[in-house]
Amino acid sequence: MTKLAFVFPGQGSQVIGMGQDVYEQVGSARSLFEKANECLEHGFTNLIFKGEQETLTLTQNAQPALLTTSMALYKTFLERGGMAPDFAAGHSLGEYTAYTAMGALSFEDAVKLVRQRGLFMEAAVPAGEGAMSAILGIEEAALLDVVSTITESGHPVQLANINSPGQIVISGTSEGVRLASVLAKERGAKRCLPLVVSGPFHSSLMKPAASQLEETLNGIQISEPHSPVVANYTAMPVALNEIKASLVHQLYSPVRWQQSIEFMIGEGTDIFVEFGPGTVLSGLIKKINRKVRTYSIRDLETCDEVIAQLKGEVANG
């Protein structure tokens, strides 16, 4: 029997103009963008559709912009005949979108929450003192030994995103990331690619932001999701009373994306649908398991195409 999982991207996928066609043509999508304007500031949608990429990429803007766009695409999917999933998951910020799509968070709470999350993350570490880098072509265990060695030498660095076999992102102090990249190359890594980010996300340096996030989360109502959401922190669904704690841990712990996808596949998932402006997650999923089928809903055209394909898959499955 065919099982579906819906996945939602994290920071880095944002692009000027994302979601504009569904805003202009789909009532439920338009209402979400207008709610974002009300919750954040007048003109927020104008930043998404016609602003400067540099301004959109600021963490406190990118996070609510991506959540709003992915949710608008998801609402469009439902309005035009799409079905519910068996699982949902999101990469970092995308986990908040997954909880929102599955009804655990209200959209208004979620968009304000991720704006605050972005501000907390930006403020946690002074600019230039933290860094992230993608390390390609080395096993997780070997890279874990690398970052442990560098951290013990006095330069904190750790695994941040376990994305797929052979692609792991490290995060920490600028010097820690630099030294770990050098040592990783010495121990067989094929490439080390510094990431253009504003801070050392998913590292222990984010703990000050996590404390602030915890306070904010304590004032927000979270309900049981309609479908299980696989948490980044555990790589499996968590109980309702554990969701807030897992989101706090997520901020300074690795995003266990590869393990999350493997969990859903192990539960019988054979189709993944990505809702967002890019295809980053679809690409990672294919690297994890080439046998599963992936679809990407990026705009109105791809939404209608994917709905037609999914109905055929489900009918035949």
Count of positions (residues) in the chain: 317
Pairing mode, if any, of strands 87-90 and 229-230? parallel
Dihedral of alpha carbons 253, 255, 259, 264, sign: positive
Q: State how far the alpha carbon of 277 is from the alpha carbons of 13, 49, 226, 248, 290, in Å.
A: 6, 12, 24, 26, 22
Asked about 223 being catalytic, the answer comes back as: no
Instruction: Name the amino acid, one letter, at 274.
Output: E
Q: Which residue has the tokens 């300074």?
A: 252
Burial 228-240 (b: 16+ CB within 10 A, else e): bbbbbbbbbbbee
Single out the residue of 130, 249, 241 nearest to residue 194, CA to CA: 130
Say which DSSP state 163 is in: E
Three-class SS of residue 199? coil
Say which DSSP state 237 is in: B
Strand partners, 130: 173
Residues 6+ apart with CB under 8 A from 84: 226, 227
Catalytic residue among 70, 92, 203, 296: 92
Asked about 92 being catalytic, the answer comes back as: yes
Q: State how far the alpha carbon of 313 is from the alpha carbons of 74, 87, 147, 180, 306, in Å.
A: 19, 17, 43, 45, 10
Catalytic residue among 202, 203, 227, 282: 202
Distance CA 219, CA 206 (A): 21
CB 90 within 8 A of CB 228: no
Residues assigned a catalytic role: 92, 202
